[in-house]
Structure 1
Amino acid sequence: MSEKEEPLNILKVRDDHEPLQFAVNGDKFKIQSAAQVSWLKSDEFDQKELRNRIEPWLTSLFQSEHLSFLAGSGLTHAVHYLAAGKGAAGMGALTLSNYQAEIDKAAENAAEAAGRKKGNLEDQLRVANELLRGLEVLQKNTEAAALSTELQTGMQDFAQSILCSEAGIAKAEEFKREQAFNTLVTFLMSFASRTGVRDRLNIFTTNYDRLIEAGAELAGLHLLDRFLGNLMPIFRSSRLDLDMHYNPPGIRGEPRYLEGVARYTKLHGSVDWLQTGKDIRRFGLPFGAGSVEPYLQAPGLGEATAQKLIIYPNAAKDRETADYPYVELFRDLAAAVCRPNSTLVTYGYSFGDEHINRVIRDMLTIPSTHLVVISYDDPLGRIMQTYKEIGRPSQISLLIGPALADLSTLTENYLPKAAIDKTTFRMSELLKQRWGTEQPNHPEKDQPNDGEEPL
């Protein structure tokens, strides 16, 4: 059977010295690598053994002093597949009247440098934007105007592909759509349900869609980002000064943290962010809207066009992160993860953005930090390549493959059920107290230890 028909799964958690490769063998799993596995008695094991190995480890990591979550395009594809039975909509190619061959060649080179097989619409738009600036510098106004018009059409098509992915979920069959969103809510709350004494969860995403925002609304999760206001929120640099607290009735003293609050950063912008003059605003764009154009005609947006949308197609180079607002967004990423006792969990991120990888490498120079990589697959091998290049295996956990990272399987079996953890702990303490006086199955424990009085 080919690898495509039976993909390998890669696991590395706890004290594993090297990643364990295994394949699905009926209702069991079979080891495919020659790695020495101390926690298994044979080369076959079941999901129960896998859960006992993974879930307590992730539960412990999720209660680190600082927890961050980075979502890549794999999250959108996973939820879209649950709702519609297929992956999210792809991006088309940019069609230009002039310089098409030169732009395509430069896009291919950029994709190759980033470790991808071929260029995509993002690469083409990035190169075309650079060319437009060059034509403006050379004062080739006619060519610059023609290219600008075609770029506007390209950006509109790019935004349309993002909305198509949202619409594929929003317009799916009701039962499947609800099942997909329930899975997403469970997934998000596994991260967000942290105790009040812990730092807030930091959510980062490279996606332009609003899937996480939609899931947060259904979950009752409050997202704190850099936008302030209600009608047309404006991007501010004061996000880190905001939080949400409450005063319990009859309690004096400092207010307590409100549960279900997370900090949220979209590293590459969003389909509903728009540059208006010197400001960046978030405008009202329904989830899965048919087109972005009608919502750009609102008063106060001026002569807004799709070309002014803040969806940055520059993932291959990191020069853009020095520009506003990306400098603020990437500063949030570095400030959140590059500190002691911090855990970063990635889902559906292929490690194709070098500016993000650099921050992760810097984070792992702190010995008390940990990286958890969860991905449905690694088709280009970039995850394992990055794992080997970083050279800090004791600080990295890997859950790669459909048997581990399928969104439904992951939420049902391996992610912590944070909502019941506190109840479980209280039950355990209660049972310990009762066992201290009543343990018929362990008579030797009924005897007092040296220096203790009988109960």
Structure 2
Amino acid sequence: MKHKIEEIRGKNFVKVGTAEEFFKCSTGAEDMQARENLKRIIEPWLSAALQTDHLAMLIGAGFTAAVCQIASVNSSSMGTANFGKFDEKINAYAEKAATRLGRGKYNIEDQLRTAISLLQGYEIDGEEDNSKDLRECIDNVLSEFSESILSSECNLFRTVKSDNNQAAFKAIAMLKSFLLTFASRNATRERTHIFTTNYDRMIEYGCDLAGIKILDRFWGKIIPKFEESPSGIDYYYRTLDAKNEFRFAEGVVRYTKIHGSVDWYEEGGVVYRDALRFGAEKVQLPTGDSYKDHLMIYPNSMKSVETAFYPYAELFRDFSSAICRPNSTLVTYGYGFGDTHINKIIKEMLHTPSTHIVIIAYSVDARLEAFLKQINMAQVTLLAGEEFASLENLVNYYLPKAAIDTLTETASKLVEARRGYVESGKGGENNNDAEL
């Protein structure tokens, strides 16, 4: 790499293959020409990356923020929470843990993880008063956290339903186009596998609007149940002109929420998906349940040693098995590289020389910088900065068209074939078939 990683902090920077370039974005004609020049470099490279044998995506909180920004609505926050009299103790340890793990500033996930560990300590020591008070604090924090997660969905849903809201229509169009680019691989190739650390349902909402079918570990219609063993079930259709011949349906993705979801819940040691409508303001708990024991968002309820890592262990195995294969490409968008357990798997993937990672990030901060210094930069495509983090810019200027574009592909082959025919001298000047 020509430039030091420290030099690209806070700048729009492109690294595609051996090409490296800084980019200053504005609305001037000169910069529009610069965008076109960058597009000629970025789009073909991404098109090739999206056609590797195995394609996976890792989407973080920045994706939801980007969609909400286009729609001019507020998105959920991953800030910190208030645990009352336990605040000082929880925050002190959460800060130490976040620093040790290289996460930078601690957030609500670090606080919840610490709070649940502290609660277990109180329960072991038999401190019933502290156990009761902390349990109530955790429940209140989870209640507010779940409502914050749902707020981004609710805000977008309300805006979409309002009449003639052009910002909302644009946000939905960008959401669908972004997902279709990665979901519409040729059906003869392995399905794109989308992974997300998000708890909201923005990706599911976009897939529904775009007509993308989702395959995940949940099976059932009324009460979808989490299946422990990954299923090989897929979508096929039978061709009319052949007997007993089946083809893969197009527009299908595999989908995994590796930190859980706001609509997952645990009951009797089994994880289910709730029928929580998109746009709901609050999670409805069954009578007698608490948020701590009901919600399956990371960290989970940790009721016992046996269930402490269920279903997260299975989800992370899916992530590892999907990306740690030869000729694999992983595309990250909106992911901040603050989760060491995820980073470890990605670094394991990059130990295979034929693998590649495409990182689309708002900026190169301390966490991303630390990650980049531990891997081989020859296996990295980097689109960093506000220019590329903008979902609108990404869709309009840099992402390739959906792969299932048979008209363009056929036309290109015809033009290429006829060019060779004319250049060989076999086509006459008056032969109208020699040109397209």
Distance 1:326 1:420 in 2: 34
Determine the structure 1 residue equivalent to 2:15. 12
The correspondence of residues 64-143 of structure 1 with structure 2, limited to 5 A, is 64-84=52-72, 87-91=74-78, 93-143=80-130
Match of 1:329 among 306, 315, 322: 315
> Aligned partner of 1:381: which letter?
A
Quick check: 1:72–1:348 contact (8 Å CA) kept in 2?
yes
> Aligned partner of 1:296: which letter?
L
Distance 1:330 1:446 in 2: 59
Q: Give, in angstroms, the shift of residue 169 of structure 1.
A: 1.4
Q: Does 1:401 align with 2:385?
A: yes
Q: Give, in angstroms, the shift of residue 116 of structure 1.
A: 4.2
> Aligned partner of 1:352: which letter?
G
Bigger mean CA offset, 140-149 vs 263-272? 140-149
Bigger mean CA offset, 64-73 vs 177-186? 177-186
> Aligned partner of 1:353: which letter?
D
The correspondence of residues 82-231 of structure 1 with structure 2, limited to 5 A, is 82-84=70-72, 87-91=74-78, 93-172=80-159, 174-231=165-222
Quick check: 2:186–2:404 contact (8 Å CA) kept in 1?
no
Q: Give, in angstroms, the shift of residue 95 of structure 1.
A: 2.9
Secondary structure in 2 matching 1:171: helix
Under a length normalisation based on structure 2, what TM-score does the superposition of the two structures give?
Answer: 0.88
- Structure 2 gaps of 5+ residues are 1-8, 428-433
Secondary structure in 2 matching 1:423: helix
Q: Give, in angstroms, the shift of residue 92 of structure 1.
A: 5.7
Secondary structure in 1 matching 2:231: helix
| Structure 1 residues 29 and 337: CA distance shift in structure 2, 3 A | farther
Q: Give, in angstroms, the shift of residue 309 of structure 1.
A: 0.3
Distance 1:369 1:322 in 2: 32
The correspondence of residues 425-436 of structure 1 with structure 2, limited to 5 A, is 425-436=409-420
Q: Deviations over 1:156-177 (max 9, x none)?
A: 1110110112112112253222
| Structure 1 residues 170 and 368: CA distance shift in structure 2, 3 A | same
RMSD value, Cα? 2.5
Q: Greater relative contact order (Cα 8 A, min sep 6): structure 1 or 2?
A: 2
Secondary structure in 2 matching 1:157: helix
Determine the structure 2 residue equivalent to 1:248. 239
Distance 2:289 2:215 in 1: 26
Distance 1:75 1:383 in 2: 17
Quick check: 1:227–1:239 contact (8 Å CA) kept in 2?
no
| Structure 1 residues 49 and 10: CA distance shift in structure 2, 3 A | same
Q: Does 1:54 align with 2:42?
A: yes
> Aligned partner of 2:155: which letter?
G
Distance 1:321 1:303 in 2: 21
Secondary structure in 2 matching 1:98: helix
Bigger mean CA offset, 250-259 vs 339-348? 250-259
Q: After TM superposition, where is structure 1 displaced by more than 6 Å over at least 4 residues in a row?
A: 319-322
| Structure 1 residues 326 and 429: CA distance shift in structure 2, 3 A | same
| Structure 1 residues 345 and 28: CA distance shift in structure 2, 3 A | farther
Q: Does 1:422 align with 2:411?
A: no
| Structure 1 residues 281 and 166: CA distance shift in structure 2, 3 A | same
Match of 2:361 among 362, 375, 379: 375
Distance 1:98 1:320 in 2: 31
Counting matched residue pairs gives: 411
Distance 1:178 1:45 in 2: 27
Quick check: 1:232–1:283 contact (8 Å CA) kept in 2?
yes
| Structure 1 residues 58 and 70: CA distance shift in structure 2, 3 A | same
Quick check: 2:103–2:339 contact (8 Å CA) kept in 1?
no
Q: Give, in angstroms, the shift of residue 59 of structure 1.
A: 0.4
Distance 1:132 1:71 in 2: 31
Quick check: 2:260–2:296 contact (8 Å CA) kept in 1?
yes
> Aligned partner of 1:160: which letter?
E
Determine the structure 2 residue equivalent to 1:446. 425
| Structure 1 residues 47 and 420: CA distance shift in structure 2, 3 A | farther
Quote the sequence identity (%).
42
Under a length normalisation based on structure 1, what TM-score does the superposition of the two structures give?
Answer: 0.85
Secondary structure in 2 matching 1:240: coil
Quick check: 1:209–1:271 contact (8 Å CA) kept in 2?
yes
Distance 1:124 1:195 in 2: 43
| Structure 1 residues 408 and 26: CA distance shift in structure 2, 3 A | closer
> Aligned partner of 2:419: which letter?
W
